[in-house]
Chains A and B, each alone.
Chain A
Amino acid sequence: MLTLSNVEVKYAGVILVLRGVSLQVPEGKIVALLGSNGAGKTTTLKAISGLLRTELGEVTAGSIEFCGGRIDRVDPEQIARQGIIQVMEGRKVLKHLTVEENLRLGGYIRPAAEVRSDMEMVYAYFPRLREKRTAVTGYLSGGEQQMALIGRAMMARPRLMLLDEPSMGLAPLIVAEIYAIIQRLAAEEGATILLVEQNARAALRISDYAYVMENGRVVLDGPSAALAENEDIREFYLGMGKLGERKNFREVKTYKRRKRWL
Protein backbone atom coordinates (compact mmCIF):
# COMPACT_ATOMS: atom_id res chain seq x y z
CA MET A 1 0.00 0.00 0.00
CA LEU A 2 2.79 2.39 0.95
CA THR A 3 6.29 2.07 -0.44
CA LEU A 4 9.30 4.24 0.34
CA SER A 5 12.32 3.70 -1.89
CA ASN A 6 15.67 5.21 -0.99
CA VAL A 7 14.08 8.32 0.45
CA GLU A 8 16.52 11.09 1.25
CA VAL A 9 15.35 14.12 3.22
CA LYS A 10 17.07 17.43 3.78
CA TYR A 11 16.00 20.24 6.07
CA ALA A 12 16.66 23.79 4.91
CA GLY A 13 18.44 22.42 1.87
CA VAL A 14 21.55 21.39 3.78
CA ILE A 15 20.84 19.19 6.79
CA LEU A 16 20.68 15.63 5.51
CA VAL A 17 18.48 13.67 7.93
CA LEU A 18 17.24 10.62 6.00
CA ARG A 19 19.95 8.86 4.03
CA GLY A 20 18.06 6.48 1.81
CA VAL A 21 15.17 4.93 3.73
CA SER A 22 13.22 2.10 2.13
CA LEU A 23 10.24 0.48 3.73
CA GLN A 24 6.84 -0.96 2.95
CA VAL A 25 3.50 -0.95 4.71
CA PRO A 26 1.10 -3.61 3.37
CA GLU A 27 -2.64 -3.07 3.61
CA GLY A 28 -4.26 -4.17 6.86
CA LYS A 29 -0.98 -4.58 8.76
CA ILE A 30 0.63 -2.79 11.65
CA VAL A 31 4.23 -1.92 10.85
CA ALA A 32 6.50 -0.57 13.58
CA LEU A 33 9.36 1.87 13.06
CA LEU A 34 11.79 1.81 15.97
CA GLY A 35 14.91 3.74 16.80
CA SER A 36 16.48 6.05 19.34
CA ASN A 37 16.21 9.83 19.57
CA GLY A 38 17.11 11.66 16.43
CA ALA A 39 17.17 8.52 14.30
CA GLY A 40 14.78 10.13 11.83
CA LYS A 41 11.51 8.36 12.64
CA THR A 42 9.39 11.48 12.87
CA THR A 43 11.05 12.85 9.76
CA THR A 44 10.09 9.68 7.92
CA LEU A 45 6.44 10.09 8.94
CA LYS A 46 6.45 13.75 7.94
CA ALA A 47 7.95 12.88 4.59
CA ILE A 48 5.02 10.52 4.02
CA SER A 49 2.31 12.92 5.24
CA GLY A 50 3.85 15.90 3.49
CA LEU A 51 4.07 17.90 6.71
CA LEU A 52 7.81 18.10 6.09
CA ARG A 53 7.12 20.88 3.65
CA THR A 54 5.75 23.11 6.36
CA GLU A 55 9.14 22.86 8.12
CA LEU A 56 11.39 23.62 5.19
CA GLY A 57 12.11 19.94 4.76
CA GLU A 58 12.24 18.32 1.37
CA VAL A 59 12.46 14.86 -0.15
CA THR A 60 15.60 15.26 -2.24
CA ALA A 61 15.93 11.74 -3.62
CA GLY A 62 13.99 8.50 -3.83
CA SER A 63 10.23 8.17 -4.03
CA ILE A 64 7.17 7.64 -1.88
CA GLU A 65 4.25 5.78 -3.43
CA PHE A 66 0.81 5.37 -1.94
CA CYS A 67 -1.69 3.04 -3.62
CA GLY A 68 0.26 3.28 -6.86
CA GLY A 69 0.64 7.09 -7.02
CA ARG A 70 3.66 9.22 -6.08
CA ILE A 71 2.97 11.50 -3.16
CA ASP A 72 6.37 12.98 -2.38
CA ARG A 73 5.55 16.25 -4.16
CA VAL A 74 1.96 16.58 -2.98
CA ASP A 75 0.56 19.13 -0.48
CA PRO A 76 -0.10 17.84 3.04
CA GLU A 77 -3.82 18.68 2.82
CA GLN A 78 -4.04 16.68 -0.38
CA ILE A 79 -2.24 13.70 1.13
CA ALA A 80 -4.62 13.74 4.09
CA ARG A 81 -7.55 13.74 1.69
CA GLN A 82 -6.04 10.75 -0.08
CA GLY A 83 -6.36 8.91 3.21
CA ILE A 84 -3.06 9.27 5.08
CA ILE A 85 -3.53 10.82 8.50
CA GLN A 86 -0.61 11.48 10.81
CA VAL A 87 -1.03 11.55 14.57
CA MET A 88 1.83 13.83 15.50
CA GLU A 89 4.09 13.32 18.49
CA GLY A 90 3.86 15.58 21.50
CA ARG A 91 0.05 15.51 21.88
CA LYS A 92 -0.86 18.14 19.38
CA VAL A 93 -4.47 18.54 20.44
CA LEU A 94 -6.37 21.73 19.69
CA LYS A 95 -6.25 22.54 23.35
CA HIS A 96 -8.69 25.41 23.59
CA LEU A 97 -11.41 23.44 21.83
CA THR A 98 -13.57 20.76 23.37
CA VAL A 99 -13.04 17.08 22.73
CA GLU A 100 -16.07 16.96 20.48
CA GLU A 101 -14.85 19.96 18.48
CA ASN A 102 -11.50 18.25 18.03
CA LEU A 103 -13.27 15.18 16.71
CA ARG A 104 -15.47 17.22 14.41
CA LEU A 105 -12.44 18.87 12.89
CA GLY A 106 -10.92 15.43 12.44
CA GLY A 107 -13.95 14.57 10.31
CA TYR A 108 -13.89 17.89 8.45
CA ILE A 109 -12.93 16.25 5.16
CA ARG A 110 -15.70 13.65 5.47
CA PRO A 111 -19.29 13.97 4.27
CA ALA A 112 -21.18 15.87 6.97
CA ALA A 113 -23.82 13.14 7.21
CA GLU A 114 -21.29 10.55 8.35
CA VAL A 115 -19.55 12.62 11.00
CA ARG A 116 -22.19 11.79 13.60
CA SER A 117 -21.95 8.03 13.20
CA ASP A 118 -18.16 8.14 13.01
CA MET A 119 -18.15 10.02 16.26
CA GLU A 120 -20.23 7.27 17.83
CA MET A 121 -17.66 4.76 16.59
CA VAL A 122 -14.84 6.75 18.21
CA TYR A 123 -16.79 6.98 21.46
CA ALA A 124 -17.36 3.25 21.35
CA TYR A 125 -13.62 2.68 21.19
CA PHE A 126 -12.85 5.39 23.74
CA PRO A 127 -15.69 5.54 26.28
CA ARG A 128 -13.63 8.05 28.26
CA LEU A 129 -13.84 10.52 25.43
CA ARG A 130 -17.60 10.35 25.51
CA GLU A 131 -17.54 11.26 29.20
CA LYS A 132 -15.26 14.21 28.48
CA ARG A 133 -16.77 15.30 25.21
CA THR A 134 -17.63 18.84 26.34
CA ALA A 135 -14.38 19.31 28.28
CA VAL A 136 -11.67 21.66 27.03
CA THR A 137 -9.07 19.32 25.61
CA GLY A 138 -6.10 21.20 27.07
CA TYR A 139 -7.19 20.22 30.56
CA LEU A 140 -7.48 16.49 29.94
CA SER A 141 -4.89 14.09 31.28
CA GLY A 142 -2.07 13.07 28.98
CA GLY A 143 -3.64 9.70 28.30
CA GLU A 144 -7.01 11.23 27.47
CA GLN A 145 -5.35 13.70 25.14
CA GLN A 146 -3.61 10.86 23.34
CA MET A 147 -6.98 9.13 22.99
CA ALA A 148 -8.50 12.33 21.64
CA LEU A 149 -5.71 12.50 19.08
CA ILE A 150 -6.17 8.95 17.89
CA GLY A 151 -9.93 9.47 17.89
CA ARG A 152 -9.51 12.63 15.86
CA ALA A 153 -7.46 10.74 13.30
CA MET A 154 -10.08 7.96 13.19
CA MET A 155 -12.72 10.56 12.34
CA ALA A 156 -11.02 11.06 8.98
CA ARG A 157 -11.49 7.34 8.24
CA PRO A 158 -7.88 7.07 7.09
CA ARG A 159 -6.68 4.33 4.80
CA LEU A 160 -3.29 4.59 6.50
CA MET A 161 -2.69 5.97 9.96
CA LEU A 162 0.76 7.24 10.95
CA LEU A 163 1.13 7.08 14.72
CA ASP A 164 4.08 8.93 16.26
CA GLU A 165 4.99 7.70 19.75
CA PRO A 166 1.53 7.25 21.23
CA SER A 167 3.09 5.99 24.46
CA MET A 168 5.31 8.99 25.10
CA GLY A 169 5.17 10.12 28.71
CA LEU A 170 2.26 7.88 29.67
CA ALA A 171 1.92 5.47 32.58
CA PRO A 172 2.22 1.76 31.68
CA LEU A 173 -1.45 1.09 32.37
CA ILE A 174 -2.60 3.81 29.97
CA VAL A 175 -0.10 2.65 27.38
CA ALA A 176 -1.57 -0.83 27.63
CA GLU A 177 -5.08 0.56 27.21
CA ILE A 178 -4.15 2.59 24.16
CA TYR A 179 -2.25 -0.28 22.59
CA ALA A 180 -5.17 -2.61 23.12
CA ILE A 181 -7.35 -0.15 21.23
CA ILE A 182 -4.84 0.17 18.40
CA GLN A 183 -4.85 -3.60 18.12
CA ARG A 184 -8.64 -3.68 18.04
CA LEU A 185 -8.65 -1.03 15.33
CA ALA A 186 -6.45 -3.23 13.21
CA ALA A 187 -8.46 -6.38 13.91
CA GLU A 188 -11.98 -4.93 13.65
CA GLU A 189 -11.65 -2.11 11.15
CA GLY A 190 -8.79 -3.59 9.14
CA ALA A 191 -6.83 -0.40 9.77
CA THR A 192 -3.36 -0.05 8.28
CA ILE A 193 -0.94 1.56 10.71
CA LEU A 194 2.65 2.73 10.62
CA LEU A 195 3.64 2.99 14.26
CA VAL A 196 6.71 4.92 15.43
CA GLU A 197 7.90 4.03 18.90
CA GLN A 198 10.75 4.16 21.34
CA ASN A 199 8.77 1.77 23.47
CA ALA A 200 10.08 -1.18 21.47
CA ARG A 201 8.58 -3.87 23.64
CA ALA A 202 5.00 -2.70 23.28
CA ALA A 203 5.41 -1.91 19.60
CA LEU A 204 6.90 -5.30 18.76
CA ARG A 205 4.08 -7.02 20.58
CA ILE A 206 1.28 -5.54 18.50
CA SER A 207 2.98 -5.09 15.12
CA ASP A 208 3.33 -7.56 12.26
CA TYR A 209 6.59 -6.27 10.91
CA ALA A 210 9.20 -3.83 12.17
CA TYR A 211 12.02 -1.64 10.94
CA VAL A 212 14.81 -0.28 13.11
CA MET A 213 16.35 3.07 12.19
CA GLU A 214 19.60 4.64 13.18
CA ASN A 215 21.14 7.84 11.87
CA GLY A 216 18.66 8.22 9.06
CA ARG A 217 19.00 4.67 7.79
CA VAL A 218 17.10 1.44 8.26
CA VAL A 219 19.61 -0.86 9.93
CA LEU A 220 17.43 -3.87 10.60
CA ASP A 221 14.02 -5.18 9.65
CA GLY A 222 11.97 -8.33 9.94
CA PRO A 223 8.76 -9.83 11.28
CA SER A 224 8.14 -8.41 14.74
CA ALA A 225 8.14 -11.76 16.46
CA ALA A 226 11.58 -12.53 15.04
CA LEU A 227 12.96 -9.11 15.96
CA ALA A 228 11.77 -9.50 19.52
CA GLU A 229 14.13 -12.50 19.74
CA ASN A 230 17.02 -10.72 18.05
CA GLU A 231 20.11 -10.34 20.27
CA ASP A 232 20.85 -6.72 19.42
CA ILE A 233 17.28 -5.66 19.80
CA ARG A 234 17.03 -7.39 23.14
CA GLU A 235 20.16 -5.67 24.28
CA PHE A 236 19.62 -2.14 23.00
CA TYR A 237 15.90 -1.72 22.76
CA LEU A 238 14.40 -4.08 25.26
CA GLY A 239 17.03 -3.47 27.91
CA MET A 240 17.67 -7.12 28.54
CA GLY A 241 21.43 -7.36 28.17
CA LYS A 242 23.75 -6.58 31.09
CA LEU A 243 25.66 -4.05 29.07
CA GLY A 244 22.49 -2.66 27.61
CA GLU A 245 20.93 -1.88 30.93
CA ARG A 246 23.78 0.27 32.10
CA LYS A 247 23.99 2.07 28.80
CA ASN A 248 20.29 2.71 28.66
CA PHE A 249 20.22 4.10 32.14
CA ARG A 250 22.90 6.60 31.34
CA GLU A 251 21.21 7.67 28.15
CA VAL A 252 17.81 7.99 29.70
CA LYS A 253 19.19 10.38 32.25
CA THR A 254 20.65 12.70 29.69
CA TYR A 255 17.53 12.97 27.56
CA LYS A 256 16.09 16.38 27.68
CA ARG A 257 12.72 15.28 26.48
CA ARG A 258 10.77 12.90 28.61
CA LYS A 259 10.70 9.53 26.92
CA ARG A 260 10.01 6.01 28.01
CA TRP A 261 12.74 3.64 27.12
CA LEU A 262 11.53 0.27 28.37
Chain B
Amino acid sequence: MLVISGMMNGAIYGLVALGFVLVYKASAVLNFAQGYMLLFGAYLFWFFRVTVGLPLVLAMIAAVAAGFAGGALIERLTLRRLIGQPLISMVTVTIFLSLVLEGLVSMIWGTYPLQHVAAFPESTIRLGKMVLTTQSLIAFGLALLAAGALIVFFRFTRIGLAMRGVAEGHQIMQSMGISVRRILNVSWGLAGVAATVGGILLGSTLGFQLGMSHIGLLAIPAAFIGGLESPEGAILGGLLIGLIESIVSGYVGNAAGVPAAFVVLILTMLVRPYGFFGLERIERV
Protein backbone atom coordinates (compact mmCIF):
# COMPACT_ATOMS: atom_id res chain seq x y z
CA MET B 1 0.00 0.00 0.00
CA LEU B 2 2.73 2.46 1.00
CA VAL B 3 4.68 1.35 -2.03
CA ILE B 4 1.79 2.02 -4.34
CA SER B 5 0.89 5.42 -2.97
CA GLY B 6 4.58 6.30 -2.96
CA MET B 7 4.90 5.42 -6.61
CA MET B 8 1.87 7.52 -7.39
CA ASN B 9 3.24 10.68 -5.86
CA GLY B 10 6.64 9.71 -7.20
CA ALA B 11 5.41 9.80 -10.78
CA ILE B 12 4.32 13.39 -10.23
CA TYR B 13 7.65 14.35 -8.66
CA GLY B 14 9.34 12.70 -11.61
CA LEU B 15 7.31 14.73 -14.07
CA VAL B 16 8.10 17.98 -12.29
CA ALA B 17 11.75 16.96 -11.99
CA LEU B 18 11.77 16.42 -15.74
CA GLY B 19 10.91 20.08 -16.23
CA PHE B 20 13.77 20.97 -13.92
CA VAL B 21 16.16 18.79 -15.89
CA LEU B 22 15.13 20.19 -19.28
CA VAL B 23 16.01 23.70 -18.12
CA TYR B 24 19.21 22.61 -16.44
CA LYS B 25 20.44 20.69 -19.45
CA ALA B 26 19.81 23.50 -21.89
CA SER B 27 21.02 26.41 -19.82
CA ALA B 28 22.84 25.04 -16.76
CA VAL B 29 20.42 26.99 -14.58
CA LEU B 30 18.99 25.33 -11.48
CA ASN B 31 15.44 26.53 -11.48
CA PHE B 32 14.46 26.66 -7.85
CA ALA B 33 11.16 28.22 -8.86
CA GLN B 34 9.97 24.93 -10.36
CA GLY B 35 7.86 24.11 -7.29
CA TYR B 36 6.22 27.51 -7.43
CA MET B 37 5.59 27.16 -11.12
CA LEU B 38 3.73 24.01 -10.12
CA LEU B 39 1.70 25.96 -7.57
CA PHE B 40 0.88 28.66 -10.05
CA GLY B 41 -0.05 26.15 -12.75
CA ALA B 42 -2.33 24.28 -10.37
CA TYR B 43 -4.14 27.46 -9.39
CA LEU B 44 -4.49 28.43 -13.01
CA PHE B 45 -6.23 25.14 -13.63
CA TRP B 46 -8.50 25.81 -10.67
CA PHE B 47 -9.25 29.22 -12.13
CA PHE B 48 -10.19 27.79 -15.53
CA ARG B 49 -12.19 24.95 -14.04
CA VAL B 50 -14.03 26.68 -11.19
CA THR B 51 -13.99 30.41 -11.85
CA VAL B 52 -14.41 30.24 -15.62
CA GLY B 53 -16.31 27.00 -15.47
CA LEU B 54 -14.68 25.28 -18.43
CA PRO B 55 -15.23 21.55 -18.90
CA LEU B 56 -12.49 19.41 -17.37
CA VAL B 57 -10.47 18.66 -20.49
CA LEU B 58 -10.66 22.22 -21.77
CA ALA B 59 -9.60 23.56 -18.40
CA MET B 60 -6.61 21.25 -18.43
CA ILE B 61 -5.63 22.27 -21.93
CA ALA B 62 -6.02 25.95 -21.07
CA ALA B 63 -3.92 25.58 -17.93
CA VAL B 64 -1.18 23.65 -19.75
CA ALA B 65 -1.08 26.23 -22.54
CA ALA B 66 -0.89 28.98 -19.97
CA GLY B 67 1.86 27.03 -18.19
CA PHE B 68 3.88 26.91 -21.40
CA ALA B 69 3.39 30.61 -21.99
CA GLY B 70 4.25 31.37 -18.37
CA GLY B 71 7.49 29.38 -18.48
CA ALA B 72 8.48 30.99 -21.77
CA LEU B 73 7.62 34.41 -20.39
CA ILE B 74 9.83 33.90 -17.35
CA GLU B 75 12.74 33.03 -19.62
CA ARG B 76 12.05 36.03 -21.78
CA LEU B 77 11.74 38.56 -18.98
CA THR B 78 14.49 37.43 -16.66
CA LEU B 79 16.95 34.81 -17.78
CA ARG B 80 17.41 36.02 -21.33
CA ARG B 81 18.74 39.29 -19.97
CA LEU B 82 21.21 37.38 -17.89
CA ILE B 83 22.80 35.30 -20.65
CA GLY B 84 26.53 35.46 -20.18
CA GLN B 85 26.22 36.66 -16.58
CA PRO B 86 27.54 34.54 -13.71
CA LEU B 87 25.40 31.50 -13.03
CA ILE B 88 24.91 32.51 -9.44
CA SER B 89 22.92 35.53 -10.48
CA MET B 90 20.58 33.40 -12.57
CA VAL B 91 20.05 30.96 -9.72
CA THR B 92 19.40 33.83 -7.35
CA VAL B 93 16.81 35.14 -9.75
CA THR B 94 14.99 31.81 -9.75
CA ILE B 95 14.96 31.75 -5.94
CA PHE B 96 13.37 35.16 -5.70
CA LEU B 97 11.10 34.32 -8.56
CA SER B 98 9.62 31.65 -6.28
CA LEU B 99 8.67 34.30 -3.78
CA VAL B 100 7.14 36.45 -6.48
CA LEU B 101 5.05 33.53 -7.78
CA GLU B 102 3.94 32.60 -4.28
CA GLY B 103 3.05 36.22 -3.58
CA LEU B 104 1.04 36.43 -6.77
CA VAL B 105 -0.90 33.31 -5.88
CA SER B 106 -1.75 34.55 -2.39
CA MET B 107 -2.67 37.97 -3.74
CA ILE B 108 -5.06 36.58 -6.31
CA TRP B 109 -6.47 33.56 -4.54
CA GLY B 110 -5.75 34.19 -0.88
CA THR B 111 -3.79 31.97 1.47
CA TYR B 112 -6.52 29.47 2.37
CA PRO B 113 -6.89 26.17 0.58
CA LEU B 114 -9.28 26.43 -2.34
CA GLN B 115 -12.55 24.62 -2.72
CA HIS B 116 -11.89 21.03 -3.71
CA VAL B 117 -12.29 20.15 -7.38
CA ALA B 118 -13.07 16.60 -8.25
CA ALA B 119 -11.08 16.43 -11.42
CA PHE B 120 -11.41 12.70 -11.87
CA PRO B 121 -14.11 10.20 -10.93
CA GLU B 122 -13.89 9.33 -7.26
CA SER B 123 -14.37 5.66 -6.59
CA THR B 124 -12.28 2.95 -5.06
CA ILE B 125 -10.88 -0.25 -6.44
CA ARG B 126 -9.98 -3.21 -4.29
CA LEU B 127 -6.97 -5.29 -5.16
CA GLY B 128 -6.82 -8.02 -2.56
CA LYS B 129 -6.17 -6.14 0.67
CA MET B 130 -5.31 -2.87 -1.05
CA VAL B 131 -7.69 -0.03 -1.66
CA LEU B 132 -6.87 2.31 -4.51
CA THR B 133 -8.76 5.38 -5.55
CA THR B 134 -9.40 5.72 -9.25
CA GLN B 135 -8.36 9.31 -8.81
CA SER B 136 -4.81 8.50 -7.86
CA LEU B 137 -4.63 5.78 -10.50
CA ILE B 138 -5.62 8.23 -13.19
CA ALA B 139 -3.19 10.80 -11.81
CA PHE B 140 -0.43 8.22 -11.89
CA GLY B 141 -1.22 7.25 -15.46
CA LEU B 142 -1.41 10.85 -16.64
CA ALA B 143 1.86 11.75 -14.94
CA LEU B 144 3.67 8.91 -16.65
CA LEU B 145 1.99 9.70 -19.94
CA ALA B 146 2.98 13.36 -19.80
CA ALA B 147 6.53 12.47 -18.81
CA GLY B 148 6.71 9.94 -21.63
CA ALA B 149 5.43 12.51 -24.11
CA LEU B 150 8.05 15.04 -23.03
CA ILE B 151 10.80 12.47 -23.33
CA VAL B 152 9.65 11.44 -26.80
CA PHE B 153 9.61 15.11 -27.77
CA PHE B 154 13.11 15.58 -26.41
CA ARG B 155 14.55 12.48 -28.04
CA PHE B 156 12.84 12.33 -31.39
CA THR B 157 11.79 15.74 -32.66
CA ARG B 158 13.75 18.43 -34.44
CA ILE B 159 13.36 20.94 -31.64
CA GLY B 160 14.15 18.24 -29.10
CA LEU B 161 17.38 17.55 -30.99
CA ALA B 162 18.19 21.25 -30.94
CA MET B 163 17.57 21.28 -27.19
CA ARG B 164 20.06 18.48 -26.75
CA GLY B 165 22.49 20.41 -28.92
CA VAL B 166 22.06 23.59 -26.91
CA ALA B 167 22.81 21.54 -23.82
CA GLU B 168 26.30 20.92 -25.22
CA GLY B 169 27.34 24.38 -26.17
CA HIS B 170 25.66 27.61 -27.07
CA GLN B 171 28.38 28.92 -29.34
CA ILE B 172 28.43 25.77 -31.45
CA MET B 173 24.69 26.06 -32.00
CA GLN B 174 24.97 29.72 -32.97
CA SER B 175 27.68 28.85 -35.47
CA MET B 176 25.09 26.67 -37.22
CA GLY B 177 22.53 29.45 -37.36
CA ILE B 178 20.35 28.01 -34.60
CA SER B 179 18.81 30.56 -32.28
CA VAL B 180 19.82 29.52 -28.78
CA ARG B 181 17.35 31.98 -27.29
CA ARG B 182 14.43 30.36 -29.03
CA ILE B 183 15.43 26.92 -27.90
CA LEU B 184 15.89 28.06 -24.30
CA ASN B 185 12.53 29.71 -24.52
CA VAL B 186 10.92 26.42 -25.55
CA SER B 187 12.76 24.58 -22.76
CA TRP B 188 11.31 26.93 -20.18
CA GLY B 189 7.91 26.60 -21.74
CA LEU B 190 8.13 22.82 -21.42
CA ALA B 191 9.28 23.16 -17.83
CA GLY B 192 6.13 25.21 -17.30
CA VAL B 193 4.06 22.46 -18.91
CA ALA B 194 5.59 19.76 -16.71
CA ALA B 195 5.02 21.87 -13.60
CA THR B 196 1.44 22.66 -14.53
CA VAL B 197 0.48 19.07 -15.27
CA GLY B 198 2.12 18.03 -12.00
CA GLY B 199 0.22 20.76 -10.22
CA ILE B 200 -3.13 19.75 -11.66
CA LEU B 201 -2.59 16.13 -10.68
CA LEU B 202 -1.39 16.94 -7.17
CA GLY B 203 -4.12 19.47 -6.61
CA SER B 204 -6.88 17.15 -7.66
CA THR B 205 -5.68 14.40 -5.35
CA LEU B 206 -4.37 16.38 -2.38
CA GLY B 207 -6.24 19.67 -2.69
CA PHE B 208 -5.30 23.10 -3.98
CA GLN B 209 -3.29 24.90 -1.30
CA LEU B 210 -0.13 26.94 -0.94
CA GLY B 211 1.70 23.98 0.58
CA MET B 212 1.77 22.35 -2.86
CA SER B 213 4.95 24.26 -3.64
CA HIS B 214 6.77 22.32 -0.94
CA ILE B 215 5.72 19.11 -2.56
CA GLY B 216 6.99 20.56 -5.81
CA LEU B 217 10.30 21.10 -4.07
CA LEU B 218 10.67 17.34 -3.80
CA ALA B 219 11.20 17.37 -7.52
CA ILE B 220 14.61 18.87 -6.90
CA PRO B 221 16.07 15.89 -5.02
CA ALA B 222 14.39 13.69 -7.62
CA ALA B 223 16.26 15.50 -10.37
CA PHE B 224 19.55 15.41 -8.49
CA ILE B 225 19.30 11.72 -7.70
CA GLY B 226 18.53 11.07 -11.33
CA GLY B 227 21.68 12.91 -12.25
CA LEU B 228 20.31 16.30 -13.36
CA GLU B 229 21.03 15.65 -17.01
CA SER B 230 18.99 12.60 -17.74
CA PRO B 231 15.24 12.93 -18.35
CA GLU B 232 14.71 9.24 -17.71
CA GLY B 233 16.78 9.52 -14.56
CA ALA B 234 14.50 12.30 -13.35
CA ILE B 235 11.46 10.04 -13.63
CA LEU B 236 13.17 7.21 -11.78
CA GLY B 237 14.48 9.66 -9.19
CA GLY B 238 10.93 10.92 -8.72
CA LEU B 239 9.57 7.41 -8.18
CA LEU B 240 12.36 6.71 -5.70
CA ILE B 241 11.73 9.91 -3.73
CA GLY B 242 8.01 9.16 -3.71
CA LEU B 243 8.68 5.68 -2.33
CA ILE B 244 11.04 6.86 0.36
CA GLU B 245 8.73 9.63 1.41
CA SER B 246 5.72 7.37 1.62
CA ILE B 247 7.45 4.50 3.39
CA VAL B 248 9.14 6.75 5.93
CA SER B 249 5.93 8.66 6.64
CA GLY B 250 4.13 5.37 7.03
CA TYR B 251 6.55 3.81 9.47
CA VAL B 252 8.16 6.74 11.21
CA GLY B 253 5.48 9.38 11.06
CA ASN B 254 4.15 11.93 8.65
CA ALA B 255 6.61 14.66 9.55
CA ALA B 256 9.60 12.49 8.68
CA GLY B 257 8.70 11.83 5.05
CA VAL B 258 9.91 15.00 3.40
CA PRO B 259 13.13 15.41 5.41
CA ALA B 260 13.92 11.77 4.67
CA ALA B 261 13.81 12.53 0.98
CA PHE B 262 16.34 15.30 1.46
CA VAL B 263 18.56 13.09 3.58
CA VAL B 264 18.61 10.62 0.72
CA LEU B 265 19.50 13.48 -1.61
CA ILE B 266 22.46 14.49 0.54
CA LEU B 267 23.65 10.90 0.85
CA THR B 268 23.39 10.41 -2.90
CA MET B 269 25.41 13.56 -3.51
CA LEU B 270 28.12 12.33 -1.16
CA VAL B 271 28.39 8.96 -2.85
CA ARG B 272 27.72 9.90 -6.45
CA PRO B 273 28.13 13.63 -7.06
CA TYR B 274 26.67 13.27 -10.54
CA GLY B 275 23.67 11.24 -9.44
CA PHE B 276 22.86 7.84 -10.81
CA PHE B 277 22.15 8.70 -14.41
CA GLY B 278 24.33 11.76 -14.89
CA LEU B 279 25.95 12.17 -18.27
CA GLU B 280 29.07 10.22 -18.64
CA ARG B 281 31.61 12.96 -19.23
CA ILE B 282 33.39 12.38 -22.49
CA GLU B 283 36.88 13.69 -22.01
CA ARG B 284 39.20 13.23 -24.92
CA VAL B 285 40.76 15.19 -27.77
Chain A positions within 8 Å of B, measured between CB atoms, are 49-51, 54, 76-81, 85-86, 88, 90-92, 94-97, 101, 104-106, 108-109, 112, 136, 138-139, 142, 145, 152, 156, 169
Known: A97-B165, A106-B176, A109-B177. 15 other contacts (CB 8 A): A54-B84, A76-B174, A78-B177, A85-B175, A92-B171, A94-B164, A96-B164, A97-B168, A101-B164, A101-B165, A104-B158, A105-B176, A108-B162, A138-B282, A145-B285
| Shortest Cβ gap from A108 to chain B (Å) | 5
Asked whether any CB of chain A lies closer than 8 Å to the CB of B170, the reply is yes
Kindly state the separation between the CA atoms of A88 and B169 in the bound complex, as whole angstroms. 12
**A91 CB → nearest B CB, Å:** 5
Q: How many A-B pairs with Cβ below 8 Å?
A: 84
Q: Contacts of B177 on A, CB cut-off 8 Å?
A: 77-81, 85, 108-109, 156
Q: Are A96 and B168 in contact (CB under 8 A)?
A: yes
Contact residues in A for B167 (Cβ distance below 8 Å): 96
Point out the residues of chain B lying under 8 angstroms from A81, CB to CB. 177
Shortest distance in angstroms between A150's beta carbon and chain B's nearest beta carbon?
Answer: 13
Whether B171 and A54, one on each chain, are in contact in the complex, defined by CB atoms closer than 8 angstroms, is yes
Q: Contact between A94 and B172 (Cβ–Cβ < 8 Å)?
A: yes
Return chain A residues, CB-CB under 8 Å to B29. none
The reply to whether the CB of B82 lies closer than 8 angstroms to some CB of chain A is no
Partner pick for A109 among B168, B178, B180, B284, CB 8 A cutoff: B178
Which 9 pairs show the lowest CB-CB distances between chains A and B? Answer: A80-B177, A138-B282, A109-B177, A76-B174, A94-B168, A81-B177, A95-B282, A105-B165, A77-B179
B: residues with CB less than 8 A from A are 84, 158, 161-162, 164-165, 167-180, 279, 282, 284-285
From A76, A79, A142, B285 is in contact (CB under 8 Å) with A142
Q: Are B170 and A108 in contact, CB atoms less than 8 angstroms apart?
A: no
Contact B171 A51, beta carbon cutoff 8 Å:
yes
Determine whether the beta carbon of A139 is less than 8 Å from that of B284.
yes
Give A104 to B158 CA distance when docked, in angstroms.
9
B175 with A76: CB separation less than 8 A: yes
Given known contacts A94-B165, A95-B168, A97-B165, A80 and B285 CB-to-CB distance under 8 angstroms: no
Task: Note all chain A residues with C-beta closer than 8 A to B179.
Answer: 77
For residue A53, which residue of chain B has the nearest CB? Answer: B174
* Nearest A residue (CB) for B282: A138
The answer to whether B175 and A88 touch across the interface, beta carbons within 8 angstroms, is yes
With a CB–CB cut-off of 8 A, which chain B residues contact A152?
176
